[in-house]
Amino acid sequence: MKRMFFSADAHGSNYVWRKWVNVPKFHKADILLLCGDLTGKALIPLIEQDNGTWTSHYFGRKWTFRSEAEMKDYERRIGDSGAYSFRTNPEEVKAMQQDKKLVDEKIFEAIGNRIREWMEFLIEKVDTKKVQCMAMPGNDDDHLVDEIIKSYEDKGIIWPLDQVVEIAGFETISYEYVNPSPWDTPREKKEKDLKKDLEKLFSKVDHPEKTILNTHAPPYNTRLDFAPKLKNLKPVIVAGTVEMEHVGSKAVREVIEEYQPMIGLHGHIHESYAKDKIGKTPVVNPGSEYMEGILRGFIIEFSDKGVENYYKVEG
């Protein structure tokens, strides 16, 4: 019996990553998958002042620091929440406000550094010869992430895109793009293009019904794809309640209906920590509460015949 721990949407949280790396000890997992949206979204400056103090704005307030210990504790909290911090001065901040390219350079540098730190921490703490470890980008992740993960393949980290890989003894296909969203993220495609890509992936496997399908986008019209309905990028509230709607991929649902893979692993929609079935295929979404430092996932147990059990865990 092989035991997989599947999670998604860490969004740069150091705290969540550390918990994920400790899963083999805590849950006795043979396989670790963290798939989709590895990187954070916010860049937080700590600005040096003329009087020797430092100031910053995050967590809904202004902060003033007078010691190195205070600064380091704040930087740790920022990293644990999934954001990126950097020390700077008023002149650099003014330049970055006037030139978006400088902001992009700074956040891409921070993203690259954190992914490398994560990979190094993973190979230090986990014996990748005994535990299969797979990390996959998602729609929010810049393409620089791929090359960094690939550079660790010789150390046992699996980069699963554009190929068939063996996980728990079964063919596994993975796909990071999602259907169009209001946020215009780096990896989005129209449904017809998603369908073409997914059909191409399925053409590479010998036994679709024994395949693990890993797509960041959840299938449409399931328990996995409920998200707040938006108007002008703000949630629609009716009678004091946020109105929800299905936002998953119709293409993902169609290929699951057609090929009936052994299991579907999905993410992307943080609010939908759920499992469901499409025909014979169980589908799961661990959701995400990375800002709170909560690691959510599914334990999935495999025998030689296929999936024997799957259930939610969090901590």
Q: Give pLDDT tens digits for 23-78.
A: 999 999 999 999 999 999 999 999 999 999 999 999 999 999 999 999 999 999 99
Is the CB of residue 3 less than 8 Å from the CB of residue 28?
yes
Q: What pLDDT was estimated at residue 83?
A: 97
**Residue 20 pLDDT > 90:** yes
Query: Over the stretch 70-112, which tens digit does the pLDDT of each residue have?
Result: 999 999 999 999 999 999 999 999 999 999 999 999 999 999 9
- Cβ neighbours, 10 Å, residue 95: 13
Tokens of 143: 């393409």
What is residue 6's three-state secondary structure? Answer: strand
Query: Which H or E run contains 94?
Result: helix 90-98
Task: Give the CA distances from residue 15 to residues 6, 30, 76, 94, 314, in Å, rounded to whole numbers and listed in that order.
Answer: 17, 21, 9, 31, 13
pLDDT of residue 79: 97
Q: Give the mean pLDDT of 118-133.
A: 97
Which of 68-77, 154-163, 237-246 bottoms out in mean pLDDT, i.e. has the lowest? Answer: 237-246
pLDDT of residue 240: 83
Residue in the structure block whose two tokens are 């499409």: 278
Nearest CA-CA partner of 118 in 88, 84, 86, 94:
84
Stretch 148-158: mean pLDDT: 98
pTM of the model: 0.96
What Rg do the C-alpha atoms of the chain give, in angstroms? 20
The residue written with tokens 């954001």 in the block is: 83
Helix (H, G, I), strand (E, B) or coil at 101: helix
CB 249 within 8 A of CB 255: no
Distance in angstroms (rounded) separating the CA atoms of residues 269 and 308: 26
Instruction: Give the confidence band of 219 by pLDDT, cuts at 50, 70, 90.
Output: very high
SS3 at position 89: coil
- How many residues in the chain? 315
Q: Tokens at residue 233, please?
A: 């990028």
Question: pLDDT grade, residue 232 (50/70/90)?
Answer: confident
DSSP 215-240: ESSPBSSSTT-EEE-EETTEE-EETT
Of 25-34, 143-152, 227-236, which range is least confident? Answer: 227-236
Question: DSSP 3-state helix, strand, coil percentages of the chain (rounded to 5)?
Answer: 30, 35, 35
> What pLDDT is attached to residue 234?
87
**What average pLDDT does this structure show over 259-267?**
98
For residue 202, pLDDT over 90 is answered with yes
Please report the domains of the chain, with CATH numbers, ordered by start residue: 2-39+119-314 (3.60.21.10), 43-106 (no CATH)
Q: For residues 298 and 308, what is the distance between their CA atoms, to the nearest angstrom?
A: 13
Label the pairing between strands 226-228 and 230-231.
unpaired
Confidence of residue 315 (pLDDT cuts 50, 70, 90): confident
**166-199 confidence digits (pLDDT tens):** 999 999 999 999 999 999 999 999 999 999 999 9
**pLDDT for 279 beyond 90:** yes
pLDDT surpassing 90 at residue 233: no
Check if the beta carbon of residue 16 is closer than 8 Å to that of residue 295: yes
Report yes or no: 201 and 175 within 8 Å, Cβ to Cβ. yes
Average pLDDT, the chain: 96
What does the alpha-carbon distance between residue 248 and residue 284 come to, in Å, rounded to a whole number?
Answer: 13
For residue 53, give the H/E element and its range: none
Instruction: Give percent of the chain above pLDDT 90.
Output: 95
DSSP assigned state of 290: G
